[in-house]
Amino acid sequence: MSTQEIPGSGYAPTREDYGTGAYRRRIRVRSAEGALHADMEDDFHRFALRVEHDGERVTAVHGAARRAPWTTCPAAVDELERLVGVRLTESHAEVREYSDPRTHCTHLFDLATVAITCAARGAPGADYRVEIPDAADGRRKVRLERDGSSALEWHIEEARIVAPTPAPYAGMGLRGGFGRWAEATLEPAVAEAAQVLRRAVFIAVGRRFDLDQIESATALGTAPSTCHSFSPDVWQQADRAHGTVRDFSERPDALLAEPLRP
């Protein structure tokens, strides 16, 4: 059995069929009176949130986790209370400054942030769909649709956007500082789309690995303190939630087909 490094985590067994499909993620937010319902699904996760607000600030956040990679992930729903009081804003960076993302589930935090930005701009909602083809050589063309229309297409090589992607994206690295650059350079809705696509690029790496061959987070090495389940206080209790991976390569319409309410 061959293994490969998961960036920032450790080494894990690889899948022999990697390179034949695509990672897909869908984020859908729908607004209601004083609240937003937000859903996210991809190969590894199925979450839902209800974010309540008074028109100026978040007043409550309720979450639900149906499918997650580690047994400790569902408990991260409780961490969402840390977002109560945050100002409705179109800036992802402002939400990150209010509450440290590393104490949260990364994906619940991102989902809540998109809901908050929708509320801030008074939007009826948002529907993001992302496609990241498998690429054993590290090169691929990645796509993001928003509300049924193409919004972004990048050519990437490993963690960098490359030509023929046009300016201002070509040459940008996707690691530290990308979110700050996006918010300083792009219109708020475009900056958000870019950050949604960036996150998906990194999560898509998980398709390379046979994660059900891993029994616990400790098998990957030292806790990198990147999220709730990989924080020093939780990491040693994080066991693998076997059988939770799905493949949406050929069935994108199956994403969010089953309702989930917090």
- What SS3 class is residue 134? coil
pLDDT at 1 over 50: no
Q: Which of 173-177, 205-209, 219-223, 256-260 has the lowest mean pLDDT?
A: 219-223
Question: What pLDDT shows up at residue 156?
Answer: 96
- Binning the chain into helix, strand and coil, the percentages to the nearest 5 are 30, 30, 40
Average pLDDT over residues 73-96: 97
Confidence of residue 9 (pLDDT cuts 50, 70, 90): low
Among 20-24, 124-128, 151-155, 214-218, the range scoring the smallest mean pLDDT is 214-218
Whether a cis peptide bond, with omega within 30° of 0, leads into 164 is yes
Q: Domain ranges in the chain?
A: 20-207
225 compared with 28, residue with greater pLDDT: 28
Name the band, by pLDDT with cuts 50, 70 and 90, for residue 247. very high
Cα 240 to Cα 124: distance, rounded to the nearest angstrom: 37
The per-residue pLDDT for 221 is 75
Q: Is 60 exceeded by the pLDDT of residue 220? A: yes
Phi, then psi, of 233 in degrees rounded to 5: -80, -15
pLDDT of residue 98: 97
Residue 4's pLDDT is: 54
Please give the pLDDT value at position 182. 97
Question: For the chain, what percent of residues have pLDDT higher than 90?
Answer: 82
Query: What pTM does this model have?
Result: 0.94
Q: Give the least confident one: 10-19, 55-64, 145-154, 170-179.
A: 10-19
β-strand pairing of 160-162 with 58-67:
unpaired
For position 2, what pLDDT does the model report? 59
Backbone angles phi, psi at 215, to 5 degrees: -95, -30
Tokens of 166: 């046009």
pLDDT per residue as tens digits for the range 93-149: 999 999 999 999 999 999 999 999 999 999 999 999 999 999 867 789 999 999 999
